[in-house]
Structure 1
């Protein structure tokens, strides 16, 4: 059996903001396949957790974060099977006024990458692809800190982020009446993130 670290049939490609629009439908399909617990949850659409909301989110981030916006995609046999995207951002933008005072000053002073999405289609999960996508984003953006939001009930995603070294930093809401997320934080070591290990 082939291990994740020796697979040669999965290729990671990196895209800048001007290359994202033609890929939005494909990444939206992968996101929906990877998050059935969200897509099928009553009220998810009103919470901004839907395929149309994802499309709007991606294109909005492309428009407003041109500097450093990076999309990475995993391909097997010419078909996209996973993706992730992130961009450099300020602590004020990412953490918001309520959570910002709880973030230590040395964290706020470092280069920050906001990781917005990371998803792998279910048939290809647990083969190291999520780790490779994450490593490609870190290489492209070169932050000192990475941060992301994850739903508390997303146990699969949380397990991956725990393995990558992310730690809980506090609760976060995009809007006052929106769903609560866990905000996670990762200090980037000088050593590269290993491309192997079971994950999604």
Structure 2
């Protein structure tokens, strides 16, 4: 059994929409590995929380968000160990009409990044890779605000997002009978 190396052995690569299709199976495997509590949950597939749903989601986002769609991937020794993807979007698209009025005005008026997925394979978690992937997305997209959805029971993911400065903005459902997520919001600090 090999032991994961230090974070200096990790390389982050950035991909545009035309480069994503060949990576979908690999990122789906990483997502499943990082979320066994979802994959093994009865009803997860009907809630859109499955490997086939993830593949469909990624490819759908690539098709519909060509402008600014960015995928970042972490590699060590040539193998992908984590990924994240996001795209610039309008507050109306991201928050929906029901939640939009509850979002602070500056977030509704600023450049928004919708962070769709961020996953690191368990053997490489707690090594700063998620933080580095997040930073790479912010650098590539340059938003004023970032938002994401996280399952309330995803304590490790929520811990990372709390450390990154995300704050709870409200409950969110993709569909009326779908699972409830926590919608998180981050005001991105300017590095200029």
TM bucket normalised to smaller: over 0.9
Counterpart of 2:149 in structure 1 is 149
For 1:9-28, list aligned pairs within 5 A: 9-28=9-28
Partner of 2:73: 73
Cα separation, 1, equivalents of 2:93 and 2:26: 28
Residues in 2 aligned to 1:95 and 1:104: alpha-carbon distance in whole angstroms: 12
- Who is 2:171 aligned against? 171
SS at match of 1:149: strand
Residues 3 and 127 of structure 1 are in contact (CA less than 8 Å); yes or no, is this contact kept in structure 2?
Answer: no
User: Matches of 1:110 and 1:45 in 2, distance apart?
Assistant: 34
Task: Provide the rounded CA distance (Å) in 2 between the counterparts of 1:133 and 1:40.
Answer: 26
Q: TM-score normalized by structure 1?
A: 0.92
Q: CA RMSD in A?
A: 1.4
SS state at 2:190 partner:
coil
Question: Which structure carries more relative contact order (alpha carbon 8 Å, separation 6+)?
Answer: 1
Counterpart of 1:8 in 2: which secondary structure?
helix
Corresponding position of 1:162:
162
1:48 shift after superposition: 0.4
Aligned length in residues:
189
Which segments of 5 or more consecutive residues in structure 2 lack a partner in the other structure? Answer: none
